[in-house]
Amino acid sequence: MRETETTPRRSIAFIGSECYPFVKTGGLGDVMYALPKALAEQNCDVKVIVPLYRCIPQEYKEKMVYRGSFGMDLCSDGRSFHVGIMEYVWDGVVYDFIDNEEFFSAGNPYISLVDDIPKYCYFSKAALAALLYMDWIPDIIHCHDWQAGLVPIFLRTLFADTPLRDAKSVLTIHNLRFQGIYNIPTIKYWTNLPDEVFSIDVLKTGVEDANMLKGGLAYADVITTVSETYAEEIKTPFYGDGLDAHLRHHAYKLRGIVNGIDVVQWDPETDNRLAENYDEKTVLKNKKANKKALQEELGLEVDDGKFVIGLISRLTNQKGLDLVNMILPGLIDGNTQVALLGTGDGYYEDSFRGFENEFKGSVCSCIMYDEGRAHRIYAGSDALLVPSLFEPCGLTQLIAMRYGTVPIVRETGGLKDTVEPYNEFENTGNGFTFDGYDAGLLYDAINRAKTVYFTDRERWDDMVKRDLAKDVSWEASAEKYKNLYLELKPEY
């Protein structure tokens, strides 16, 4: 039994804009699902508060129960809005969905800032108002990314005279690239927050803008981010996205806790989306069967001797795709195949479609979002590429290792903290790494991987088994969060 399972019970409200399996566009959705579940196992009482977007599948909506509704003042001209609460309890975690058709009726969570700014101003306040309405006063209010950035500010201003005043706030940065910046009059209108929080040390940025993440960072009791390396990186101008000075100023309350993955959701032994399940004893044989099934599914030449590289990613420049574009033609040598799954910027979607046409049978570019196919690429590939420009944590390299697939990553953020480089002298390590953001270095790392794969299969297979056995679960990191909550709320 872990120590934290017997530590005092703490209650935590998670507030964020997405949560698997209801709605997910990236790793934030995974974390909002897996971390509360892991905390529930460590004597925590967790409520997850997310918007009730229209795109949430009917099968979940059907299981929700009506928890109540009320009107909430929001805007500076007194305009008020309806807040409905729909509840779903699952695996020891309570999910409360904030219902408002005006804000959440679009197909996707994120549309454009014009829509998203009012939506998340509303959501941040409605989440706190819902807690009060339900009379559920948590020890900790744990907010995620800019969409919940205003929560710590609302908590200490418009909610300062409510029972919520005793709660401590934690704000986790999953990605500093997105900050929720808009002109001050608009954000003033949609929040009715007092003038003092529009000062340069809180919300104000530049000449006349407000930055919702920046303000939250100033007001949160603790700031966390999703790996230790990223916690250091964001204090520098290159990774700080304009907030490095602000983060250096608040460095005393900033810490990094690396993400894990849900090892039940991601389990090659039970995953019903795979052609063959496997564990450490059957991995070498059954990964081949999955590779062949994947090649068939994707229209790649079916041959288990080929080196298959997977790439599962949002298609944005964060993910190092410019490097991939530069070297991909050079990789295709008759023995190497690439399976890409992703959606995003049209520029990358087109370039990958182009590679598929040029290298039919060796490159497949699936420009789509498909959970099932993601599982099959993780299982059927030999290696998974994550050459990111920056990567707060990264989950795909963790999932890859869980499936015995060797990650090839750039040494940045969580990639650096989770992938130990292969050491040929000691036969240790989990993957292949490179440091500078440089196409030549990426090319070299892939070639080092290929050399081991084609000339020293025994060593390669050892690494596959090491990866499969590596602990990538949430357990250790959930314990760190629990200890953080206890530190913030020591008295019982």
Residues near ligand ADP, by CB under 6 A: 26-28, 30, 312-314, 341-343, 369-371, 374, 393-396
The reply on whether position 28 binds ligand GLC by CB under 6 A is: yes
**Neighbour tally for 303: CB within 10 Å:** 12
**Could you tell me whether strands 209-211 and 181-183 are parallel, antiparallel, or unpaired per DSSP bridges?**
antiparallel
Among 394, 404, 429, 431, binds ligand GLC (CB under 6 A): 394
- CB nearer to ligand GLC: pick between 175 and 191: 175
- 375 φ, ψ (degrees, to nearest 5): -60, -40
Judged by CB under 6 A, the stretch of 296-304, 385-393, 399-407, 422-430 that binds ligand GLC is 385-393
Output 113 or 293, the one with its CB closest to ligand GLC. 113
CB of 393: closest distance to ligand ADP in angstroms?
A: 6
| Binding partner of 226, given ligand ADP, ligand GLC, none, CB within 5-8 angstroms per partner class | ligand GLC
- From the list 168, 159, 96, the residue with the least C-alpha distance to 130 is 96
Q: Quick one: 56 or 409, whose CB is closer to ligand GLC?
A: 409
Q: How far is the CB of 414 from ligand ADP (least distance, A)?
A: 8
**27 is an interface residue for ligand GLC by CB under 6 A:** yes
- If we measure between CA atoms, which residue out of 473, 483, 476, 474 comes closest to residue 140? 483
| 226 forms part of the interface with ligand GLC (CB under 6 A) | yes
Rounded least distance, CB 153 to ligand GLC, Å: 22
Residue 99's alpha-carbon distances to 33, 68, 85, 282, in angstroms, are 19, 10, 6, 47
What residues from 165 to 204 belong to the interface with ligand GLC (CB under 6 A)?
174-175
Number of residues that make up the chain = 492
Q: Minimum CB separation from ligand GLC for residue 391, in Å? A: 5
93 binds, among ligand ADP, ligand GLC, none (CB under 5 to 8 A by kind): none
Does residue 31 touch ligand GLC according to CB under 6 A?
yes
**Does residue number 336 form part of the binding site for ligand GLC (CB under 6 A)?**
no
186 binds, among ligand ADP, ligand GLC, none (CB under 5 to 8 A by kind): none
Q: Which is nearer to ligand GLC, 395 or 468 (CB)?
A: 395
Please report whether residue 419 would count as binding ligand GLC according to CB under 6 A.
no
Q: Which residue is nearest to ligand ADP (CB)?
A: 27
* Residue 392 interacting with ligand GLC (CB under 6 A): yes
Contacting range for ligand GLC; rule: CB under 6 A; set: 130-138, 297-305, 391-399, 474-482: 391-399
Q: Which among 237, 264, 233, 178 is positioned nearest to 417, based on CA atoms?
A: 233
Q: By C-beta, is 100 or 225 nearer to ligand GLC?
A: 225
d(CA 426, CA 416): 19
Contact residues: ligand GLC, CB under 6 A = 26-28, 31, 174-175, 226, 259, 391-395
